[in-house]
Structure 1
Amino acid sequence: MGTLTALRQLRERRRQADRRFGARLLASTVVAAVAAVPFALILVLVEGRWAPLRRIDIGAAQRLHEVAVRHPSWTGVLHLLSDRVWAPVTLRLAVGVLTAWLLHRRAWRLAAWAMVTAVAGGLIGLLVKAVVERDRPALQDPVAHAPGYSFPSGHAMTATTSFAILILVLLPLVPRVWRTACWGVAVFSVLGVGLTRVALGVHWFSDVLGGWLLGLAVVALTTWAFEAWRIEAGLGHPPVSEGLEPELAEATPEPGRSRW
């Protein structure tokens, strides 16, 4: 009898934690959206009036563009990385496949976290672009073109949120000896996306920086919501080196049952 009572209490505790988890996911998205607009406006004001940052933007754009014009083969590599390997559609597809796999594993809350983080990042990026309406660089002999507004870089923001999702979800499945390398690949890819966008002349450096920072803000907020649920559900608070759900490395649960 005591065991059954304890199980009922645990299930009720999980259900209550689930309800608060959903509310926190929604709240974290709203907070990120509200914080993104003034953040973007402040950055644009700084970019327009603070001479040092303006010089960095123009200097980086011109120097990298000159290299791209002089070396067509290098420009081809940039296009391959920016438009294929690290393209937003490629990264979103990867996150979509990961989410489907999590649903197959019945990791419902982890799948919800991944989906909300990816969707929130995309919507907030579009919102800030529409509010700021910053023009893209206008360079002589352009080697690339991109539609829409410039700030923040959608490529940089998508790369930040997508690689964070992939790393934080899949890390428990990676042997410890390879985890540092995985973090290195993720960081290199996120930084590389920013380099390609500036080198191709379709973004200012501050656009890329804004995309990185907003992406990190979205990941931090949704991760806070997920970790708060784990603590309330009695699952503990694993270190980042273990991923969001260390239990993911366990065997697939039986049909009709879920560990999450």
Structure 2
Amino acid sequence: PGTTPPVPGRPTIFLPLLRPALWALLFAALTWQVAASGPLLGPDERLGDALRATSAIPSGPAEFFADLGNLPVALPVLAAALAFATWRARSWRPAAIAVPAMALVPALVAPLQSLIARPGPPPMAPGTGFYPSGHAATAAVAYGLCALLLRPHLSARPRRALLAACAALNLAVGLGLVRQGYHWPLDVLGSWLLSLALLDVCAWAWTRVRVRTQAGHL
């Protein structure tokens, strides 16, 4: 439309951005609930109390997975995946997308934590600034970026296994953070929604870069 002849597919270029917009909208709604002490906070705190008290999730493994959200753990893993993807692609473009995305995590999370000032679970009292969870966001974005970086170099079955492993790992990190009393469940959920928005934008950007690169080679 608007050209002669029409260019197929041009009006749908930005349709993939609808999904990150949805994640961002859900994150905004959840953030409003937490900031306004909405009705979700009661069930959230009861669930957090139940998970901390359960013996079904041993403390040792929970602490191990919670620690995977630490920057000194997550960043070297991302750096290794980024080095591999840059070498395979023979291009700096993966780094140009992944590095700013990872840098946005503390840039977004820290001001929100300070602004909302949500009290933590009893083991962390009397501190505030627990929503959204920085550890959950670090793990979700770092390991999610690893999956996005490695995905183009894998066939269909390993690719699905990698994405499933990434999702399972982040679920374990979230459960570990709640089980050990570092965060409430909604702190983790909020971080996941924010991270999904960032990762979907990264996936869209990589798709656009690949399309333009392939077009340039034709």
> TM-score normalised to the size of structure 2?
0.75
* Paired residue total: 195
* Structure 1 residue 90 corresponds to structure 2 residue 73: yes
* Structure 1 residue 231 corresponds to structure 2 residue 214: no
Structure 2 stretches lacking a partner, 5+ long? 1-16
* Structure 1 residue 113 corresponds to structure 2 residue 97: yes
Q: CA deviation at 1:121?
A: 2.3
Whole-Å Cα distance in 2 between the matches of residues 57 and 164 of structure 1? 25
Whole-Å Cα distance in 1 between the matches of residues 126 and 212 of structure 2? 45
Which residue of the partner structure matches residue 65 of structure 2? 81
Q: Tell me, what secondary structure is at the counterpart of 1:149? A: coil
Q: CA deviation at 1:44?
A: 4.0
Q: CA deviation at 1:145?
A: 8.4
Which residue of the partner structure matches residue 63 of structure 1? 50
Residue identity over aligned pairs, in percent, reads 28
Q: Tell me if structure 1 keeps the 8 A contact 2:177–2:183.
A: yes
Which residue of the partner structure matches residue 190 of structure 2? 210
Which residue of the partner structure matches residue 115 of structure 2? 131
Q: Tell me, what secondary structure is at the counterpart of 2:105? A: helix
Whole-Å Cα distance in 2 between the matches of residues 120 and 109 of structure 1? 17
Q: CA deviation at 1:176?
A: 3.4
Q: Spell out, residue by residue over 1:30-66, the C-alpha distance to the aligned partner (whole angstroms, 9 max, x if none).
A: x99xx79x955x5344134432x12221111111111
Q: Tell me if structure 2 keeps the 8 A contact 1:146–1:202.
A: no
Which residue of the partner structure matches residue 54 of structure 1? 41
Q: CA deviation at 1:209?
A: 0.8
Q: CA deviation at 1:80?
A: 1.7
Which residue of the partner structure matches residue 183 of structure 1? 163
Q: Tell me if structure 1 keeps the 8 A contact 2:119–2:125.
A: no
Task: Letter of the 1:117 partner, please give it.
Answer: A
Q: Tell me if structure 2 keeps the 8 A contact 1:153–1:208.
A: yes
Structure 1 stretches lacking a partner, 5+ long? 1-27, 237-258
The range that moved more, 220-229 or 116-125, is 220-229
Task: Letter of the 1:95 partner, please give it.
Answer: L
Which residue of the partner structure matches residue 83 of structure 2? 100
* Structure 1 residue 163 corresponds to structure 2 residue 143: yes
Q: Tell me, what secondary structure is at the counterpart of 2:203? A: helix
Q: CA 1:235–1:130 in 2, change beyond 3 Å: closer, same or farther?
A: farther
Q: Tell me if structure 1 keeps the 8 A contact 2:31–2:190.
A: no
Q: Tell me if structure 2 keeps the 8 A contact 1:113–1:222.
A: yes
Q: Tell me, what secondary structure is at the counterpart of 2:58? A: helix
Q: CA 1:184–1:67 in 2, change beyond 3 Å: closer, same or farther?
A: same
Q: State the structure with more CA Rg.
A: 1
> TM-score normalised to the size of structure 1?
0.64
Q: CA deviation at 1:152?
A: 0.5
